[in-house]
Structure 1
Amino acid sequence: MSVEAISSTLTMLERMHKSLLELAFKKTEIIKSGDIEALDQLLKDEQAHVAAIDKLEQQRQKQVTDYLEAKGLASSDKTTVADVIEAAEQQADKATLSAVRERLMQIINDLRKQNDLNQKLVFQSLQIVNLTLDAVRPRTEQMNYSSNEVRGTNTIAKKSYFDSQA
């Protein structure tokens, strides 16, 4: 396994994450506008991106593991590109991998921030919906008047025109 193959996979991961970040920015605008159908379609697009990223990530892990094993280094369960950078012999390979890794890490960090913003916006939207529903929905105290009236026993003494003692 070569460093070029790992670099190529990282570049593809970078492109996919950039595309996912663009979707996250679109999602922010859709959430602000409240377009549920567009949000639903965007979520489907996101799921497709995540599936592709997962596939590329599995490929990257296999490439990194194969590279480290070819170098005679014991691979742990969590092999990283940083391990490959350390094991790479040529300075150009180290520089290439470091540059791609840094760009990918920056995009992932930006994506994390944007997703946090989207999560907060969705939470605020749900709070507004719940407040609106609470304002519109009648309260149970208003519907049931009082328990005595429902059972038919008023607290006011009933006056009878018929005197039973007579």
Structure 2
Amino acid sequence: MSVENIYATLEKLERMHKSLLELSFKKTELLKTNNTEALDQMLKDEQAHVAAIDKLEQQRQLLVTEYLGAKGFAPADKMTVADVIKVADNDTDKEKLEKVRNRLLLIIDDLRKQNDLNQKLIFQSLQFVNLTLDMLRPQPGQINYSGNEVRGTNTIAKKTYFDSQA
């Protein structure tokens, strides 16, 4: 068995992660502009990408396990591309695998950073929504629980038809 199948799978993983990274950049812009409809579609696209990446990752794991098994290694929990690089037959295969592995690791690191930024933007949006809701809710000192009137700074008594405790 050669490393070509592993290399091809790693290249597919690299392309899928690049595409997911591009979606993550677009998601950042959608979060900044508060475009919830487009964001909903973006989440569906991301889920499809993640499912495809998961399938490719399973394929990669199988290929690595088969390759290392053919080389006489006992199956282990985590067999990695780094293990394949160590036991590859020639320097050309080792170099090819190492280059694609490093590119993939860089893309995954960029994706992690971008997702952290998106998570922070979402958290800030939620804080803003909660702050706005808190400002709209009546404060406990402004509510008269015993009668039908609400007393505030205005000297004229107002009748309320809204039960804020409901």
Global fold match (TM > 0.5):
yes
**In the alignment, structure 1 residue 23 sits paired with structure 2 residue 7:** no
Cα distance in 2 between the residues matched to 1:80 and 1:93? 15
TM-superposition CA deviations, 1:68-104 (whole Å, max 9, x none) = 0001112311010000000101000000000000000
The structure having more radius of gyration, on CA atoms, is 1
Q: Residue type matched to 2:126 in 1?
A: L
TM-score, normalised via structure 1 length: 0.86
Determine helix, strand or coil for the equivalent of 1:49.
helix
Cα root mean square deviation, aligned: 1.0
Q: Name the counterpart of 1:161.
A: none
Query: Matched residue pairs, number?
Result: 147
Matches within 5 A, 1:66-81: 66-81=66-81
Cα distance in 2 between the residues matched to 1:112 and 1:125? 20
More helix by share: 1
Q: Name the counterpart of 2:157.
A: none
Name the % identity: 69
Q: Residue type matched to 1:79 in 2?
A: M
Q: Name the counterpart of 2:136.
A: 136
Q: Residue type matched to 2:41 in 1?
A: Q
Q: Residue type matched to 2:38 in 1?
A: A
Q: Residue type matched to 1:92 in 2?
A: T
Q: Name the counterpart of 1:113.
A: 113
TM-superposition CA deviations, 1:24-73 (whole Å, max 9, x none) = 00000000000111110000000000000000000000000000000111
**In the alignment, structure 1 residue 62 sits paired with structure 2 residue 62:** yes
Q: Name the counterpart of 1:156.
A: none
Cα distance in 2 between the residues matched to 1:120 and 1:56? 29
Cα distance in 2 between the residues matched to 1:13 and 1:144? 62
Q: Which runs of 5+ in 2 are unaligned?
A: 148-166
Q: Name the counterpart of 2:41.
A: 41
Cα distance in 2 between the residues matched to 1:38 and 1:61? 34
Q: Which runs of 5+ in 1 are unaligned?
A: 151-166
Q: Residue type matched to 1:126 in 2?
A: L
Cα distance in 2 between the residues matched to 1:40 and 1:139? 34
